[in-house]
Amino acid sequence: MDILQPAVYKEPAPILDKENPFESMMHRFDVAAHLLNLEPGVYEYLKTPVKQIIISIPIAMDNGEIKVFEGYRVIHNDILGPSKGGIRYAPDVSLDEMKALAAWMTWKCAIMNIPFGGAKGGVRCDPGKLAPLVIEKITRRYTANLLDIFGPDRDVPAPDMNTNEQVMAWIMDTYSMHLRRTETAVVTGKPQILGGSLGRREATGRGCMIVTLTAMEKLGLKPKDTTIVVQGFGNVGSTTAQLLAEKGCKIIGIGDVSAAYYNKKGIDLANASEWVKSSRTLAGFQGAERISQEELLELECDVLVPAAKEDQITHRNAAKIKAKIICEGANGPTTAKADPILQEKGILVIPDILANAGGVTVSYFEWVQDRVGYFWSLDRVNSRLERMMSEAFISVYESAERYKVSLRIGAYILAIDKVARTLKLRGIYG
């Protein structure tokens, strides 16, 4: 055997007992790579991130103290085009999480047929405890430290957990200040007045709504007879709930990090949003019965939308889930160990890399609009999003049928095959 050759890849590694998002991602990748009969060299290439950057972000706090935060940017792959992916601010941000999320972005963009690779970034901090001025300083220093990485043709960040349009505006401004000219296309998810796209804020939730309705149709579920539970009441969860309610579905359960609520007659979402606006979280909301976080996921319902964070549906609670459809609004809400349990139960899982791809799709629209300098109407954004989500759903569905696998593995197969074929055509430089 040629010792310079990477180990020959034979079959999926066993699922380890420890569940972390990167291992969960890698397990699905292994299964799909095995079915695709991926060459060992291509396998090695696609599993390894192109760049993994860790930076330190020193900040002078209000009281004069210096505090050092840790920031990350992982570029998983850029074979299809500039790498694309959000930036999250959270206390548990880690390199492993970034690696999983960056790879998911590669697969997501490939499935959606958008010309981007995948990346993810983040800063380990607790934004709920930081003054806006400190968040601005962190954002600007993070951007300045990554000036050589970011760029409209290189790597294009966007919002993710706990970052928003304002944070994107600071990134755009900091980058532009260093460039000595305004460069809007360096980041997406910006305020509309700064080159943001109409419909970007609701795009992830709208995409979830579109694929949920398609899946409901497959199962013969009519909106007016469909009950929905949504975990997470941030941008993705609240928009998905709202849009599905507008289609006639009944939202019977909602929850966020602070509390969960159930009302079998349907929850008044306008009231819930008003409540969150004034109190920041759902805790204390009236008009529904308070239940535990575990009960929320295990409610009797037709559709469950986990739109909060990773590792919510695990081998511990998967058997207790009663929904017929799971639409993964969050990235990685289901662990690899939970997959076979859900499949055994016959639950139709719309995988994250398809379900929540509406966000990056409208990010792509935003990038295109910024570069052309011509902005689209909301109708145009929404109808193109609808078309692309529906086409992607059909491709994933066909891939799953062809290989006789779940939609998740069907999605991975579709994505990995596309990136691998592109790699073959481009070849290896050097």
Nearer to ligand GLU, 209 or 301 (CB): 209
281: number of Cβ within 10 Å: 14
Smallest distance from ligand GLU to CB 249, Å: 23
Nearer to ligand GLU, 47 or 84 (CB): 84
Smallest distance from ligand GLU to CB 43, Å: 24
Q: Check if the beta carbon of residue 53 is closer than 8 Å to that of residue 74.
A: yes
- The phi, psi pair for 119, rounded to 5°, reads -150, 170
Active-site hit among 120, 250, 309, 418: 120
Where would I find the beta strands (DSSP E) of 296-419?
A: 303-306, 325-327, 348-350
Catalog residues that contact ligand GLU under the rule CB under 6 A: 84-86, 158, 160, 188, 331, 356, 359-360, 363
Nearer to ligand GLU, 49 or 359 (CB): 359
Nearer to ligand GLU, 162 or 188 (CB): 188
Nearer to ligand GLU, 184 or 363 (CB): 363
Nearer to ligand GLU, 163 or 335 (CB): 163
Nearer to ligand GLU, 367 or 397 (CB): 367
Q: Check if the beta carbon of residue 35 is closer than 8 Å to that of residue 403.
A: yes
Smallest distance from ligand GLU to CB 274, Å: 26
Element (H, E) at 275: helix 269-279
Q: Beta partners for 122? A: 72, 88
Output the six-digit token pair for 408: 């998740």
Q: Tell me how far apart the alpha carbons of residues 379 and 402 are, in angstroms, rounded to a whole number.
A: 34
Nearest to 392 by CA among 113, 75, 87: 113
Q: Tell me how far apart the alpha carbons of residues 307 and 359 are, in angstroms, rounded to a whole number.
A: 13
Smallest distance from ligand GLU to CB 157, Å: 7
- First-to-final CA distance of the chain: 23
Smallest distance from ligand GLU to CB 194, Å: 16
Smallest distance from ligand GLU to CB 190, Å: 11
270 to 229, 238, 245, 250: CA distances (angstroms): 16, 10, 11, 14
DSSP per position, 399-430: HHHHHT--HHHHHHHHHHHHHHHHHHHH----
Q: Tell me how far apart the alpha carbons of residues 166 and 176 are, in angstroms, rounded to a whole number.
A: 15
- Is 67 labeled as catalytic in the residue annotation? no
Smallest distance from ligand GLU to CB 361, Å: 8
Residue nearest to ligand GLU as judged by C-beta position: 86
Q: Tell me how far apart the alpha carbons of residues 175 and 155 are, in angstroms, rounded to a whole number.
A: 12
Cβ-proximal residues to 258 (8 Å cutoff; 6+ apart), any chain = 281, 282, 283
Output the six-digit token pair for 27: 């397990």
Active site (catalytic) residues: 120
